[in-house]
Amino acid sequence: MKLLILIFFLIPIVAISQIRVDLGGFGGVSYYLGDINKSRLFYSSSPSVGAFLRYNFNPRYAVRGSLYYGSLKAKDKDFSNIYQQTRNQEFSTSIVDITLQGEFNFLPYVVGNTSFNKDNNSTYLLFGVSYFIAPNTNEPNQIAIPMGMGYKFNLKNKWAAGFEYSFRKTFTDGIDGLDGKTLLPEINKQTGFANNKDWYSFFGVFISYMIFSQELECNAYGNKRR
């Protein structure tokens, strides 16, 4: 499965016709999903910031490296059920996230192209791998799988902007400190569920600037560089 995903993102590189690189910044919120918050989107959101470098192979595919900083927090007292009120767990931690992700544009998109209604905006899907550091947790250094979608569009000259919503699936139940190994005697239930791994999300807006552009053509027609 992992090999198929890698091939999916590498195949378009063979047919590179245009290379453009943009550098950007991100601002938004981060939040957690897990044994304390099972389903509330944007629950206890905290400000987050980030920076990224995106390598655009062609109008459909790009690869991006990102660095994010945010916070995750939750407490049982925010939920009304007896189980959580009795358990009374809470946590708070900063988080540093380093992500390498592939992007697939639904529409042809050329960063820096300001032609009206031509290759200047697109929704996109993202998928990749993340390494995160959450110091105030039981397992502070872990791997996660980012997935999500966004929308990007060109502004004047070499500037672009957009918004993105991504989820990180982790392989740990230690962010919230509830690994399911402890029994809650008051109600004779375990404190957590080992199979319910923790998630965290980033949502926000970004702005970027194209720092490099190179146009390539087949040798039969000559090469063009910019």
User: What CATH number does the domain located at 28-221 have?
Assistant: 2.40.160
Look at residue 15 and tell me whether its pLDDT is greater than 80. no
Write the DSSP assignment of the chain as a string of letters.
Answer: -HHHHHHHHHGGGGG--EEEEEEEEEEEEEEEESSS-SS-TTTT-EEEEEEEEEEE-SSSEEEEEEEEEEEEEEEGGGS-SHHHHHH--EEEEEEEEEEEEEEEESS---TT--STTSSSEEEEEEEEEEEEE-TTSSS-EEEEEEEEEEEEEE-STTEEEEEEEEEEEES-STTTT--S-SEETTTTEESS-TTS--EEEEEEEEEEEEEEEEE---GGG-----
Look at residue 208 and tell me whether its pLDDT is greater than 70. yes
Q: What is the pTM of this model?
A: 0.85
What's the pLDDT at 138? Answer: 86
What's the pLDDT at 84? Answer: 87
Percent of the chain with pLDDT over 90: 64
What's the pLDDT at 224? Answer: 43
Whether the Cβ atoms of residue 152 and residue 122 lie closer than 8 Å to each other: yes
- Provide the pLDDT confidence category of residue 223 given band limits of 50, 70 and 90: very low
Look at residue 55 and tell me whether its pLDDT is greater than 50. yes
What's the pLDDT at 219? Answer: 45
Q: What is the mean pLDDT of the chain?
A: 86
Look at residue 220 and tell me whether its pLDDT is greater than 50. no
Question: pLDDT tens, 102-129?
Answer: 999 999 999 988 776 678 999 999 999 9
pLDDT (average), residues 16-37: 91
Percent of the chain with pLDDT over 70: 80
pLDDT (average), residues 91-102: 98
Look at residue 184 and tell me whether its pLDDT is greater than 70. no
pLDDT (average), residues 7-15: 49
pLDDT (average), residues 168-180: 87
What's the pLDDT at 218? Answer: 44
What's the pLDDT at 16? Answer: 54
What's the pLDDT at 10? Answer: 53
